[in-house]
Structure formats: structure tokens, C-alpha cells
Amino acid sequence: MNLLNRFLRTSLALILTASSALAAPEELQELVITGDLNGRSSLDFRSGSKNVQFIVPEGSEGTVIETRKLSRTGSYGIKVRISKVGATKAKNAPKVGDETWVYFSQKDPWLTLKDKEGSEVQDPEVALTSRAKRAGEGIPVVEGVNPRPRLPTKKEVLREQKPEKSEDPNLARSTDPKKTEAGFCIDCPTGQPGTTEKNRKDLEALGTELRQRPQTPSAPPAVPDEKWSNYPEVAKYSSSPEVEKSIRYGMRNKERRSKRLCYRYVKRSLLGGDLVDDYLPGGKAVHAVGDLKRRGFINMMDDPRYKDLIKNPSDAPKGAVLIYRHGTQRNHAGHIEIKTDWGKNGGYVSDFYRDDDSPLYNRVLVGVMIKENP
């Protein structure tokens, strides 16, 4: 019997690992439906599947029982026990106590996730997990098995980028699509004898001259914000290719409106721009201060060299990661964003872009994070 029990536990452990059940610091407990969703009896979310039990109306609430990452799409299925049914005239609405699967779309979630403390979770990539692991519901707990969350790799993050708007640089320089590079030189001599050899010798001579010139240290990058002009380490960070790539990634992948997934989008921007080497853990933006410090960032608000120079977001240098806590709610998830330029010229990008540098309502700036050696 002991051998049989051991076999069953091992088999169940393999099933749990293969199905990508996630464990995370911010364990999900509740969700609020923000749009009408199909409630399904199983994890099959294909359009032709005949497993729709009812329509879960907007405003419904429930307790998270189980979650699964869907290998084909990378999105999630969430099993929820309905605790409140939103207003609806539909006949096929759920009842309190019903259990059903709903689809969490990465692009348009139509639901808000909360942890056991009642705070919104801003990165379900990490926090999507089953409350059942501790409560003993859904999939049983297996002793000695503690599956770690599988976080996205850099390759996966880059693959999920939105396509860039392509533009032919030749056409951009000329209104005549028949021309390239904005014009032709009809009378230019071509094919002159000895031209190629002369060009080769000229290039060789230029290369020799450059190698013989005395090497001078490169000048620090220009800083348009006078306040930071005397801090070369800040200028080096803000003008680094990693910062440019992170800002470009954020601007390329932002949404038209906030989806309450700011931490998830900023994590991807930092990873896509090579400012970090791994996907940051955690589901709340306010925890990013510690997560970034462990990856070589400093908080300028704690550093005696800089703290007196930062009074509000517009004081932060280009590329700084700004982190906020809620003004009154201790367990609130906070907010995070990346500054896109210097001074008041800079906007702020997270899961959406805002160009207003006025303080966020009921948010307190607690972190202005940069990396002195990106």
C-alpha cells in the first residue's frame, strides 16, 4: 500500500508540473468580472466548443479555486466559485455557489484579480495560482511538491512584441515612389577607370591616420536637463542603449488605456531592453523597489547624492523607473512606470502612456530607480 501511495503521489506531482500550476507570493483569492464572459464547464475555450454553461455578467464576483496556463495561447483559464452575480436579464445566468471556468485574455482581461488581502494584482503572469493549494480544494496538495512559477523568458517576451509600423525609408525622403533616396544623379560619371582602387587606398590611409591619433577619453553624454548635467553616472544610464530599448519596447507595446497591468508591462520593457536579465517576480508594483535593488538598481530617493534633487516625477531623469504606493491603503498594489524623456518633456509609459507630469491622484512616489552600470 505504501508503494502504491508513493506511486500515486509521484504521478500527481508530474501532472501538476506538466499542467503549469503556478505558485506565487501574491496568491489570488478573488476576481471581479468587468465584462460579460462565457462560463465554461471545462478548460476548452475554443469558439466551437459546446461547454458554455452560462454567461457570467459584468459585476459578478467570485473566489479563485484553480488556475491553468494554456500552452497554446499563453493565456489562462481560471476556475471560479461565484459569490455574487452581476445585474443581468439573461435567463442563463449563474447562481451563487456555481463553479465555472472563465478565460483570462492577456490583451483584454475583462476581469480584475485580487489577492487574499484584497489588493489588486498587477501581474497575473506570476500571481495566477490556485487558492486550493492551501485550502485543500481543487487539486489536492502533494507533500514535498512545491511547483515554482514558470516566468517568461527573454525570448518569449521579445516574441510577444507588437509589430512595428514599417515605413520605406526611400519613400519617406521623396514624394515620387519611382525614385529612391530622394533622387537620381543623371549626369554623375560612373565606371571611371581606377576609381575603385583610389577609394580603397583613400580608406586605408584614413584608417592609418585614425589609429595614429592620440586617444582622448570620450566626453560624457549631453544632458538637456541642467539639474543632472553634473552627474555623469546618471547621464550614462539615461543615454544608454538599454534605456533606449526599454523605452522603445514600452512605447511599442502600450495599450490605448490602462488595463491595470502596469507591473506586467514594465517588467517586459525592462527585460526587452536588457536592463534586467530575468523576469521580475511578484504581482504588485510597490514591491518593485526591492526586486530592482536585487538586480543592481539604486533608489535615488534613498541615495544622499540625489534625494534632495527629486521632489516629483518631473525631476526624475530619463529612463528612471518610478514606483508609487497608495496614499491611504497599506495593502494597495501601487503603480509603476518608466519616464520616457528628460524633465517636463518626459512622459510615462507602463501598460499605457500618459504625458501629464502632474502627481498621480492618491499616489506617493517611493522609488526612482536607475542602474549606475547598465
Domain boundary residue among 134, 150, 166?
150
DSSP secondary structure letters along 182-208: T---TT---S-TTHHHHHHHHHHHHHH
125 and 246 co-located in one domain:
no
Among candidate residues 290, 304, 312, the one with its CA nearest the CA of residue 356? 312
Asked if 371 contacts 297 with a C-beta cutoff of 8 angstroms, the reply is: yes
Distant-in-sequence, close-in-space partners of 143: CB < 8 Å, separation ≥ 6: 9
What does the alpha-carbon distance between residue 339 and residue 312 come to, in Å, rounded to a whole number?
12
- For residue 191, being part of any structural domain is answered with no
pLDDT < 70 stretches in the chain: 1-29, 71-74, 106-108, 116-117, 124-150, 164-198, 210-221
The domain boundary, picked from 150, 168, 188, lies at 150
pLDDT confidence of residue 123: 76
Q: What angle do CA 291, 296, 300 make, to 5 degrees?
A: 85
Residue that is written with C-alpha cell 465584462 in the block: 35
Task: Give me the pLDDT at residue 130, please.
Answer: 45
115 and 249, same structural domain? no
What's residue 303's pLDDT? 93
168: its cell numbers: 520605406
Q: Are residues 137 and 264 in the same domain?
A: no
Whether 146 and 245 share a structural domain: no
Same domain for 230 and 146: no
**61-69: strand order across its sheet:** 52-56, 37-40, 99-104, 76-84, 61-69, 28-33, 111-115
Please tell me whether residue 338 adopts helix, strand or coil conformation: strand
Residue 172 within any structural domain of the chain: no
Q: Note whether residue 186 is domain-resident.
A: no
**Residue 364 belongs to a domain with what CATH number?**
3.90.1720.10
pLDDT value, residue 142: 42
Q: Give domain status of residue 219, yes or no.
A: no
**What's the CA gap between 243 and 248, in Å, rounded?**
8
DSSP per residue, 254-302: --SS--S-HHHHHHHHHHHTTSSSS----S-GGGHHHHHHTTT-EETTT
Alpha helices in the chain (DSSP H): 2-18, 124-127, 132-135, 154-159, 169-172, 195-212, 232-238, 241-253, 262-272, 288-293
**Structural domain contains residue 164:** no
CA–CA distance, 274 with 242 (Å, rounded to integer): 6
Whole-number Å distance between alpha carbons of 112 and 283:
13
Instruction: Find the domain containing 299 and state its range.
Output: 226-370
Predicted local confidence at residue 8, as pLDDT: 39
- In degrees, rounded to 5, the angle at the alpha carbon of residue 374 between the alpha carbons of residues 354 and 315 is 40
Residues 236 and 125 in one domain: no
pLDDT score of 217: 56
Q: Is residue 177 part of a domain?
A: no
Indicate whether 247 belongs to any domain.
Answer: yes
What distance in Å separates the CA atoms of residue 209 and residue 355, rounded to the nearest whole number?
48
Total number of domains constituting the chain? 2
Question: What local confidence, expressed as pLDDT, does residue 133 receive?
Answer: 41
For residue 36, the model assigns a pLDDT of 84
Same domain, 235 and 135: no
77 close to 65: Cβ distance less than 8 angstroms: no
Assigned domain for 63 exists: yes
Is the domain of 135 the same as that of 13?
Answer: yes
Query: In this predicted structure, what is the pLDDT of residue 293?
Result: 94
Distance CA 29, CA 59 (A): 16
Q: Sign of torsion, CA 42 45 51 53?
A: positive
Residues 231 and 146 in one domain: no
Q: Does the model's pTM come out above 0.75?
A: no
Looking at residue 369, its pLDDT comes to: 96
Q: What are the tens digits of pLDDT across the range 239-288?
A: 999 999 999 999 999 988 888 889 989 999 999 999 999 998 878 899 89
The reply to whether 10 and 133 lie within a common domain is yes
Q: Please tell me what DSSP assigns to residue 120.
A: B
Domain boundary among 150, 185, 202: 150
52-56 vs 321-326, strand pairing mode: unpaired
For 357, other C-beta atoms within 10 Å of its C-beta total: 17
